[in-house]
Structure formats: C-alpha cells, structure tokens
A and B are shown apart, each in its own frame.
Chain A
Amino acid sequence: MYSKGFVPLAIATVVTLATAMGLVFFYAPLDADQGFVQKIFYVHVPMAIVSLCGFVAGGVMAIKHLRSGDSSWDMRSYVAIHISIILGVGVLATGAIWAKASWGHWWVWDEPVLVSFLVVVLLYCVYYPLRFSIEDRERQARYSSVFAIAAGAFVPLNFAAVRMAEAYTHPRVLSQTGGSMPGEMRLTFLISLLAMALLFVTLWKLELTSKHASMQLKRLKRKLAEREVVTT
C-alpha cells in the first residue's frame, strides 16, 4: 500500500544526498565571514525547513483525518510528526555546534531563532504522551489530530513572529529578496534542501510501510486465533 514507488524514491534520495555532500565540500565557496564553519548551514537549515514543513504537513493530514474519518490519515500525520521531531532534535544539535563554533557558546538564550525552534520541538514532545495516554483507538486518533492541527497552525505563526523580531546575532543567510548568497552557494543549498525533503518522504514511506505491515500482522493473528476458538 505505502511501499509503491519506494525503491526509485530511495535511490533518488541517496543520489541527491551524495550530490549535495559533494557540492557542499567540493563546489560551494568558503564563506568570507565564517569560513569553513559555514558548511554546517547546508545541513542545519534544510533540516530545519523540512522539519517545520513536516509539522505543518502533519497538521494538514490531521485535518484530512477529521474530515474523512479515515484512520490512515491519522497514521500519516503521526509518522510525519514523528520524523519531524527526530529532524528537530538534529536541528538543535547541529545548531548548538554551529553556535559554539561561531559565537563560542553552545546555546544563547536571548537568540529568538534558537529559542523559538526549541519551543516548537518541546511543544511537539507533548504529542507522544497525549497520544499514548489514550487507549481507545478512535479517541486517540481524534485527540491527536486536534493537537496536530493546533500545533501545526502555531509553527508558521512562530516563524513569522521570529522573522518580525530583530535578530542581529543569528546568521541570516536567507531573506525574502534571496539574501546575499552567491550562485554556487544557492545551488548547493537548494540541492541540499531537495535531498533533505526526499529523505523525509523516504523515511515517512518506510515507517508507514512498517506500521501498516505490523497492523496487518496483528489483524491476521487475531483472525487465526478466532478461527482456532471456533474449531475447538
């Protein structure tokens, strides 16, 4: 069901990731200000963008679940949020490494971009206890969807609020006018972003396939057990 087109997608992901890595280290020029440390940008920023988009996508899938009542949309939403949280942890870790290299500190509490991203990740960490504290499957799916929609709406609002706030210390490489990135850097960034997006979709499909197979197996076991009861 979910495994359709998985192999070409996985191959495309590996090829794009390898291309992105090659461009980062052998094609993109060194940043005049930050030097070699700026290479972290090509993994940190695409991961942050894909993670935030994944949270919003989880909210959109949750809307589809509430509108249709189809539990597969709840599963899609759950997996999207799950992978986004993992990427979010990666963003915080790579961001801390970049902060240490650029500013000399692992974490800067008065930097709105860092703190707002931490707030988003912590908000989504609530999703797990909320979801798994409810035993009834239908209620679990419904409540999780409501949370995913509310939190998904918060993500762009949070992003807009941070953009409106003045941040002088955080490296601002992207802007509405395209920033000041030279062509080679921009191409490398776009390929890295595409690779990260493909990685997200590949992992999303892989986990959905695994979850679907697991549910089918449980159903099969239940049916076999019922058949045994009837025959004995």
Chain B
Amino acid sequence: MPALPLDEAGKYVAGAYVVFLTLVVVYVAILGAKIARIEREVSALVAEEDET
C-alpha cells in the first residue's frame, strides 16, 4: 500500500498522539483532584481538633 500523503497522514498521527496525551492528562487530573480532596479533609480534621 502506498504511503499516505503528509497532509492526510498528519491528522491520523496527531489523533494517535492526542489520544495518548489526553489519557495521561485526564488520569493525572483525576488523581490530582483526589489528592486535593484528601488535603481538604486533613485540613478540616486539624481545624476540628484545634477547636476541641
């Protein structure tokens, strides 16, 4: 099969790399949100303990 011309092949290559980067970014964002929630809960617990 002959190689696709660059203008046509470029969108497939870009698509593949965008899929990979999106997966990584979404995964890290979800983990970041989880860690931020843990941090908030720890701060709330510390504040609660300081009050008592």
From B19, B23, B28, B38, name the one whose CB has the most chain A CB atoms within 10 angstroms: B19
Contact A33 B3 (CB under 8 A): yes
Q: Is the interface of A mostly helix, strand, loop or mixed?
A: helix
Q: A40 at interface (Cβ–Cβ under 8 A)? A: yes
How far, in angstroms, from A150 to B35 measured CA to CA in the complex?
32
Contact A36 B34 (CB under 8 A): no
Question: Which residues of B in the span 26-44 have a Cβ within 8 Å of any Cβ on A?
Answer: 27-28, 31, 34-35, 38, 41-42
Chain A contact residue count (CB 8 A cutoff): 37
Contact B34 A214 (CB under 8 A): yes
Contact B38 A213 (CB under 8 A): yes
From B3, B35, B45, name the one whose CB has the most chain A CB atoms within 10 angstroms: B3
How far, in angstroms, from A33 to B10 measured CA to CA in the complex?
16
Contacts of A44 in B (CB 8 A): 16
Q: Is the interface of B mostly helix, strand, loop or mixed?
A: helix
Chain B contact residue count (CB 8 A cutoff): 26
How far, in angstroms, from A101 to B49 measured CA to CA in the complex?
60
Nearest B-chain residue to A199, judged by Cβ: B24
Contact B3 A37 (CB under 8 A): yes
Contact B45 A220 (CB under 8 A): yes
Question: Which residues of A in the span 75-104 have a Cβ within 8 Å of any Cβ on B?
Answer: 83, 86-87, 89-90, 93-94, 97-98, 100-103
Contact A213 B20 (CB under 8 A): no
Question: Which residues of A in the span 202-232 have a Cβ within 8 Å of any Cβ on B?
Answer: 203, 206-207, 209-210, 213-214, 217, 220-221, 224
Contacts of B47 in A (CB 8 A): none
**What's the minimum C-beta distance from B31 to chain A, rounded to whole angstroms?**
6
Q: Given A213-B35, A221-B45, check contact A101 B4 (CB 8 Å).
A: yes
How far, in angstroms, from A86 to B31 measured CA to CA in the complex?
14
Contact A98 B12 (CB under 8 A): yes
Q: Encode A163-193 as 1/0 by CB contact (under 8 A) with B.
A: 0000000000000000000000000000000
Question: Which residues of A in the span 53-70 have a Cβ within 8 Å of any Cβ on B?
Answer: none
Q: A8 at interface (Cβ–Cβ under 8 A)? A: no
Nearest A-chain residue to B7, judged by Cβ: A36
Leading 3 A-B pairs by shortest Cβ distance: A35-B3, A101-B12, A36-B9
Name 28 interchain pairs, CB-CB below 8 A, sorted by A. Answer: A30-B3, A34-B1, A35-B3, A35-B4, A36-B3, A36-B4, A36-B6, A36-B9, A37-B3, A37-B12, A43-B20, A47-B20, A86-B27, A87-B23, A94-B16, A94-B19, A97-B12, A98-B16, A101-B4, A102-B1, A203-B24, A203-B28, A207-B31, A214-B38, A217-B45, A220-B45, A224-B45, A224-B48
